[in-house]
Amino acid sequence: MRLIGLSVRNLASRPLRSGLTALGVGIAVGSLIALVGSSRGFENAWVRSLAERGTDMIAVRRGTFDPLSASVDGSLGDQLRRVEGVGAVAGELVNLLVAEPDHWLVASGWERAEYLWKTVSLRAGAMPGPEQPRGVVLGETVAEGLHKSVGDALRLEERDFVVTGISKSAGALNRNALIMPIEAMQEMMDRPGKVTVFNLRLSCEGDSARVAQLKGKLAAAFPSLRFDETREVADHDQTLRFLRATAWSASAIAVLMATLVTLNTLMMSVGERTRDIGILSAVGWPAARILRMILIEGMLIALLGSALGTLMGLGVLRVIAHLPLLRGLVEPVVGARLILEVSGAALLIGVAGSLYPAWRAVRLNPVDALRHE
C-alpha cells in the first residue's frame, strides 16, 4: 500500500504533466470505443433489421464488395422458390437516398405479394395498394425528421411520392427506412427487373444440420449468388469487414501514440528523480521494488486514462448515432466485452510505456545518482 501511495504522490507532484498524459491515454481509449462501437453499430443495425423481418437467409451477387452497388435478375426468385426447404423468397432493391431536406435514409423496394410486407407494424395509415404505385411507408423516426404524416407528398430523385403509412419498429435502421413497391424503386433507380438481395424464409429454420445442407445445395445450384444466414451477414459482408479492419487499424495507431506519450512522461519523471531514486537504492530499496514503483505509476496513468476514455468514447458514440447523415445506419453496441478489451488495451499502454523508464531507473548507479543535480 505504501508503494502505491508513493506512486500516487509522484504523479500528483506534477499534476499537469500527469493529467495530460492520462488525457492522451483517454483519447486513445475513447477512439477505440468510438471506432469499434460504430463499426459494430453498423453490423448490429443491419442484422437486427433482417431479424425483425423474419429473414433466415439472404442471397446477394457473389464477388461484389458492396452489395448495394450490385444487382441480380429478379427472375431468379422464381427458381429459388422451387428449391425444397425454401419457404418464401422476397426480392428487394435497396439504395441510400437523400430525401428533403438533405436527410439520408435507406430506401427499399419490395415485391408486393411477398412476406416482407406482413412483417411491418404500422403506427398510422396503410400499405400502398395497386392504385398507389408511388405510395411509400416511412419509418417513424424518418417521418418525424422530415415532418411527414400520412397523405403528405415526398420528393425523391426528382420524382413525387405520397406517404401512405408510418411504420414502427424496435431497430434503428427500420425506424429510419422507407419502403415502396419494387416497381417504383426499379423505375427510380433505372434497374428494371433487378433486385439487390433475395430474402429467404426457410421451412427447416432451427435445424442447423438441414440449414447447412440447404445452403450447400443453393450454392451449387446458383453459383452467381452468395448465401448467408442472418447471423453470418456481418462476418461475410466485405463492406462491414472493411469498416471493422479500418476501425481496429486507426485504434492501433492511437494506442501506439498513447504508449509513446506515456513513455515520454515517465522518462522525464525518472530523469527528474535520479537523485531520489539513488537515495532509495542507498537506503536498501531493491531494484525490483523500484521497478514496481515505476510500473505502478504507468498503470495508474492508464487506469485514469481508461476511465476518461470510456466516458469520452460513449459520448462520441451517442453523437455519432444522432448525426443527420448516420441516423438509423448506426446502432451503437458497447458491451462488457468491449469495455474489458479497452481496459486491457489501457493497461497494456501503461505497462508498455513504463517498461523502459523502469529499466533505466533500476540500472542507475546509486553513487552516480546521489551526485546528480
Q: What is the mean pLDDT of residues 351-370?
A: 66
Taking 70 as the threshold, does the pLDDT of residue 67 lie above it? Answer: no
User: pLDDT at position 1, please?
Assistant: 46
Strand ranges in 135-207 using DSSP code E only, listed in sequence order: 135-139, 153-156, 159-168, 177-181, 194-195, 197-202
The residues facing 73 across adjacent strands are 194
C-alpha distance from residue 73 to each of 79, 93, 193, 238 (Å): 11, 11, 6, 21
Taking 80 as the threshold, does the pLDDT of residue 62 lie above it? Answer: yes
> Average model confidence (pLDDT) for the chain?
79
Rg (CA), the chain: 29
What number of H helices and E strands is found in the chain?
13, 12
User: pLDDT at position 239, please?
Assistant: 56
Distance CA 292, CA 294 (A): 6
First CA to last CA across the chain, in angstroms? 30
Position 350: which residue type?
A: G
User: 258 or 133: whose pLDDT is higher?
Assistant: 133
How sure is the predictor about 185, in pLDDT bands with cuts at 50, 70 and 90?
Answer: very high
Distance CA 8, CA 301 (A): 10
Q: What is the mean pLDDT of residues 16-40?
A: 78
